[in-house]
Chain A
């Protein structure tokens, strides 16, 4: 599998109290646990992103508990009301225990 790489889209700046749209996408196969190996006939074990979280300046603002019914390359779009300048941190948790994260700064006002 290709290297897992998160993509996020956060506006660079916003007005204080503005509700902004954030888009996230991570390349991940989201192996559902329902597929069988065509050659061996054995069920391929589940391996998905099971949790996504978004924090702003260390405070959780949005999260998702994810099941295998979320498509490959999970995509989440959501809103956040930004009170001040700061940093978003986005984290994806894989069934195998690895986590992928990325940060984005936003400038509010000025």
Chain B
């Protein structure tokens, strides 16, 4: 028991030191997003929008604006963007027959450029049959198990990431536009609660970094607003694409909290809430980050 008291105190000290470090850096103020423009193949992306009326943040910024030019450059050209190898794999999977029904995605949805346009921008989306909002990953696996009679893909598998990247690309440049009213309201509220609830040994909430201190340095990292408009995102750290829920999980581990289940209701609610905080930003899938 004695140990527990000590470790909890220690944790608070670490947390205090961490916040002090944030505060110290804040005064040094490398601060803020940079002013670079994200233009890919002639297409201009919206990387800042005024926060909504009830938004706690004045200007909503894409995470791209918080990266340095070396990282930013990798997203300026689709060839240089390493996420595109997965997009190509996804494109092949789109028309690959799988499962007992003998169907591929293309059997029903034909040309993804038409049928999948705007899909990423609206996720997570209410699904009447499921009685809850579904993420893009859930929706793909529903299609696989129910319509294709195929095995579901694992959340973080290469197939799933390739497919979410390929489908996401069809919405690239479109504004994030998730619904938060009607039956989504309860999920939005739940996500919001998770966003502001302090958890873990470091006793931190999402808002502590991504709302109160974005633009500042947390040790050597330039804090973004934690926007998710570029997922699945190619991260240097991962050396591959990763899902929104993987990123949430990583953040929770950093604050020494027990992460919620990937694909579970908590992360789905959080995904909805975080997506809503980025309404109006262009979908950047597949984005590149550090």
Contact = CB atoms under 8 A, between A and B. Distances in A.
Q: Do chains A and B touch in the complex (CB under 8 A)?
A: yes
A73 B79 contact: no
Q: Which of A26, A30, A72 has the most CB of B within 10 A?
A: A72
B158 A2 contact: yes
Interface in A16-48: 23, 25-27, 29-30
A9 interface: yes
A79 interface: no
Contacts of B80: 23, 25, 75
A73 B85 contact: yes
B79 A25 contact: yes
A2 B89 contact: yes
B162 interface: yes
A73 B162 contact: no
B250 to A, nearest CB: 15
A2 to B, nearest CB: 4
B88 A5 contact: yes
A67 interface: no
Nearest to B88: A5
Contact of B85 (A23, A27, A71): A27
Contacts of A25: 79-80, 82, 85
Nearest to A28: B85
A7 B239 contact: no
A12 interface: no
B285 interface: no
A3 B239 contact: no
B240 interface: yes
Given A1-B158, A71-B239, A7 B84 contact: yes
A30 B82 CA distance: 14
A2 B86 contact: yes
Nearest to A3: B89
B79 A7 contact: yes
A72 to B, nearest CB: 4
Interface in A65-82: 71-73, 75
Contact of A7 (B88, B158, B162): B88
A71 B71 CA distance: 14
Contacts of B239: 29-30, 71-73
A25 B79 CA distance: 8
Interface string B229-249: 000000010011000000000
A5 to B, nearest CB: 6
Contacts of B82: 25, 27, 72-73, 75
Given A29-B239, A72-B240, A73-B239, A5 B85 contact: yes
Nearest to B158: A2
Interface in B82-116: 82, 84-86, 88-89
B155 to A, nearest CB: 16
Interface of B: 79-80, 82, 84-86, 88-89, 158, 162, 236, 239-240
17 contacts: A2-B85, A2-B158, A3-B89, A5-B85, A7-B79, A7-B88, A9-B79, A23-B79, A25-B79, A25-B82, A27-B82, A29-B239, A71-B236, A72-B240, A73-B82, A73-B85, A73-B240
Interface of A: 1-3, 5, 7, 9, 23, 25-27, 29-30, 71-73, 75
Closest 10 CB pairs of A and B: A27-B85, A72-B239, A2-B158, A73-B82, A9-B79, A23-B79, A2-B89, A5-B85, A7-B85, A73-B85
